[in-house]
Structure 1
């Protein structure tokens, strides 16, 4: 939960997945037509390092650079392993045909800058354009909304709400995604997975060589309704 109430956010009553999350050992793999979506393990370190050293993948991240070495990748993997799995819900994305880990995705922290849990994903460049991201996100969203819930009081971006609400009112829980403007591939993925766009805003880049430049981000939310076609 945020430590303060930014001017752009309002306090609402809602629900969130029960915390802590189920441990990795209690999470059953999700199976789709072409994917197995399963908890990450320490054995995934080499494949994760291969993913995180692809410049085409990492250019879209906050820092915009590949991991410097395997120890940096280990530090990125650790939050998804016990005991970090209590606070994260990020499975690996594997090909059902081979078992190869081609990416990962999910919710990294209970709240985001928009106040709601934020979902994201990364997939190796060789597998772009094949529909795997949409296949993953649709399955993950179904699983997310199936988690046990508990009541929560959170500060959320008021623009994300479907109706005008006052401070402290009850609202439907949302899952959000943030996409950089111009990233049409990810925009299509989130829209096909039932997310609706609600706002755009500008931030200063932290990427190497682009520090201080303006980046426009676009916010999307999903309320667990029927997926779009």
Structure 2
């Protein structure tokens, strides 16, 4: 993805990723309204979503990367989010993913994350990417392991305990599928 062109997207066999914007606030609220989704990432009001998405847009402007909406190429439906997030307090770039429950178990998180990792380690030139996964989120831990991540440390993110996984450039797992 070109750092200056926010309309450029990452595509995979089944998915299209585009930068999230403030215009996605209503969708963001709906995604996080599901109790199974928000038990690890929290819920949002419309105002909170707008503030969060403005921060995402700012990160795209300042760092050349951020979170993306994940859309099905076949229908254009937005099914989740995946992308890179800079954490100033940790000095780390994290990859994160969250998908609507009806799209779980289909390999979309792995597919989207693999493409984001290739972009992060390739054109963006990152040396290491972390994944901060809250305790009990076995599905996301499985995605991280399939991608080649290994546990780095225990930490607290957004007032919740998590395991921070790390992956160095060159260690990413290239095989497709789950």
TM-score range, shorter chain: 0.7 to 0.9
2:56 equivalent in structure 1:
80
For residue 26 of structure 1, report the CA deviation from its aligned partner. 4.4
Q: Is the 8 A contact 1:37 1:91 kept in 2?
A: yes
TM-score, length of structure 1 as denominator length: 0.65
State TM-score, norm by structure 2.
0.82
In structure 2, how many angstroms separate the alpha carbons of the residues matched to 1:54 and 1:76? Answer: 18
User: Offset at 1:133?
Assistant: 0.6
1:219 aligns with 2:164: yes
Change (3 A) 1:131 1:22: same
Which of the pair is proportionally richer in helix? 2
State the partner residue of 2:70.
93
Distance 1:187 1:147 in 2: 26
User: Secondary structure of 2:92's partner?
Assistant: coil
- Of 67, 72, 83, the residue aligned with 2:44 is 67
Residue 135 (structure 1) shift: 0.6
**Compared CA separation, residues 89 and 198, structure 1 to 2 (3 A):** same
1:57 partnered with 2:33: no
Distance in 1 of aligned mates of 2:97 and 2:47: 21
Call closer, same or farther: CA 1:40–1:180 in 2, change over 3 Å: closer
User: Deviations along 1:32-57, whole A, 9 cap, x unmatched?
Assistant: 11110111234423222211222221
The higher-RCO structure (CA 8 Å, 6+ apart) is 1
- Residues 63-103 of structure 1, C-alpha deviation per residue, up to 9 Å, x if partnerless? x4x223x222211211223x442235211111111111111
- Pick the structure with greater CA Rg: 1
Aligned-pair Cα RMSD in Å: 2.6
| Residue 111 (structure 1) shift | 4.0
Check whether the contact 2:86–2:92 (CA below 8 A) recurs between aligned residues. no
8 Å contact 1:52–1:73 — kept in the other structure? no
Question: Is 2:83 the partner of 1:121?
Answer: no
Query: Match of 1:118, SS?
Result: strand
Q: Is the 8 A contact 1:179 1:219 kept in 2?
A: yes
